[in-house]
Amino acid sequence: MADLNKLLTPLYLNEKEIRKIIELMFFSYRDFTSGPDRVLEKIKFGRAHHRVIYFVGKKNGLTIKELLSILQITKQSLSRVLNQLVKEKFIILSTGEDKRTKKLTLSKKGQELEIKLSNIQITNIYNVIKNFDEIDINGFKKVLFKMIDEKNQKKFNEIN
Amino acid sequence: MADLNKLLTPLYLNEKEIRKIIELMFFSYRDFTSGPDRVLEKIKFGRAHHRVIYFVGKKNGLTIKELLSILQITKQSLSRVLNQLVKEKFIILSTGEDKRTKKLTLSKKGQELEIKLSNIQITNIYNVIKNFDEIDINGFKKVLFKMIDEKNQKKFNEIN
DNA sequence: TAATTAAGTCAATATGGCTGACCTAAATAA
DNA sequence: TTATTTAGGTCAGCCATATTGACTTAATTA
């Protein structure tokens, strides 16, 4: 993109500034996940378990199919993690009205873990955004949203 | 954090809004990395290779130690990836003035790959932020920066 | 009844991280 | 100058997370 620079007019749109955004994404995402990671390690779980617990906690009664479509991983990748969560009774399975489907719900134990993990991220984010005004936070959310692929933007809107 | 909500006054600081940010981070980071991932797959490299190439490209002559401190992975994790990059001549090693150290530089081949990968992310980000005004983009960058741990904020500033 | 869908399972493979132990060579401090 | 620290490398082994492809069962829908 040696040529891109020449096309760009405002300062904040030049390559160097965009590269800073690349790095901000890398560093911030790493620190965003490190808190829960440390808790998960103790109970021999990983980030994948957290994601499952997070989205089941968000929508109790989620089906496997819905979860797969959010996580965008293969059935096999999910099943390993999910089986562990069910075996250790963080998640409870039940049959849906369509009897081919299964509904996932958090047990009390699962809810407790969900809260523990999410609270780390919630308080971290709270401590960040409390020092900004609404304009900055809106800019943050709007831009971050547009960084998502359009198809996944839809998915985000569906679950929210 | 059943209690946090009661302490929070502005709407954008409540738990539900913060949970949206958690999801925005998850979805946006995934899509942020997916472009380069597809290119890397073809040449049997992974995201770890991209990171090395990215930061060596950013600062030619980087030492192993500096790279480790940016990536925050173990020597062993780096060495596997780095050895492949050196063997396949994407990266060239040379001895520093302090003869214990080694300097990493991108070869022509390495530079070409760096540009190819980064351009995907640069154009993606460009296409997002071109539609926002400076206020939104500044909010985005400021908040994202503060999402980084303080120690790593320093590191970000050092390399920029 | 046939086709599709939701879910589960098998085996094999790759990436990317980790630990701990141990080594060499060079630079620096006592 | 000797002792210590630092930069880097390496070995073996482990674990988490992802993948593909093939195949099965049971339920729903065309």
Helix axis angle, A108-129 relative to B15-42, nearest 10°?
A: 90
Contact B124 A147 (CB under 8 A): yes
B3 pLDDT exceeds 70?
no
Query: What local confidence, expressed as pLDDT, does residue A7 receive?
Result: 54
List the B91-95 sheet strands across, edge first.
B62-63, B102-106, B91-95
Query: What local confidence, expressed as pLDDT, does residue A3 receive?
Result: 53
B8 pLDDT exceeds 70?
no
Say how far apart CA A131 and CA A128 lie, in whole Å: 6
Q: Are B91 and B83 in contact (CB under 8 A)?
A: no
Query: What local confidence, expressed as pLDDT, does residue B4 receive?
Result: 56
Measured from the CB, is B18 under 7 Å from any atom of strand D?
no
Query: What local confidence, expressed as pLDDT, does residue B13 receive?
Result: 82
- Spatial distance from the CA of A72 to the C1' of C15 (Å): 18
Q: How far is A57 from chain B (nearest CA, A)?
A: 11
E strand map for B28-150:
62-63, 91-95, 102-106
Query: What local confidence, expressed as pLDDT, does residue A6 receive?
Result: 53
B12: DSSP letter: G
Say how far apart CA B134 and CA B138 lie, in whole Å: 6
Kindly report the average pLDDT of chain B as a whole number: 94
pLDDT in tens, chain A (160 residues): 545 555 556 767 899 999 999 999 999 999 999 999 999 999 999 999 999 999 999 999 999 999 999 999 999 999 999 999 999 999 999 999 999 999 999 999 999 999 999 999 999 999 999 999 999 999 999 999 999 999 999 999 999 9
Query: What local confidence, expressed as pLDDT, does residue B14 receive?
Result: 92
Q: Are A124 and A39 in contact (CB under 8 A)?
A: no
Q: B112: which 2 tokens?
A: 């070409």
Q: Which domains does chain A have, with CATH numbers?
A: 46-129 (1.10.10.10)
- Shortest CA distance to B92 belongs to which of B65, B116, B61? B61
Lowest-pLDDT choice from A56-70, B2-16, B49-63:
B2-16
Say how far apart CA A56 and CA A110 lie, in whole Å: 10
Query: What local confidence, expressed as pLDDT, does residue A119 receive?
Result: 96
E strand map for chain A:
62-63, 91-95, 102-106
B9 pLDDT exceeds 90?
no
Closest Cβ–Cβ partner in A123, A131, A152 for B31: A152
Residue A146 in contact with partner chain B when CB distance is under 8 A: yes
Alpha-carbon B147 to chain mean position: 14
**Residues of B numbered 70-99 whose beta carbons fall under 8 angstroms of chain A's beta carbons: which are they?**
72
Helix axis angle, B75-87 relative to B64-71, nearest 10°?
A: 120
pLDDT band with cut points at 50, 70 and 90 for residue B12? confident
List of chain B residues whose C-beta atoms are within 8 Å of the C-beta of residue A139: 132, 135-140, 143
Residue B111 in contact with partner chain A when CB distance is under 8 A: no
Q: A126: which 2 tokens?
A: 């709270």
Strand partners, B106: B91
The residue of chain A with its CA nearest to that of B121 is A22
pLDDT tens-digit map of B114-149: 999 999 999 999 999 999 999 999 999 999 999 999
Say how far apart CA B144 and CA B23 lie, in whole Å: 14
- Spatial distance from the CA of B56 to the C1' of D6 (Å): 22
Residue B30 in contact with partner chain A when CB distance is under 8 A: yes
Contact B1 A119 (CB under 8 A): yes
Contact A21 B132 (CB under 8 A): no
The residue of chain B with its CA nearest to that of A28 is B148
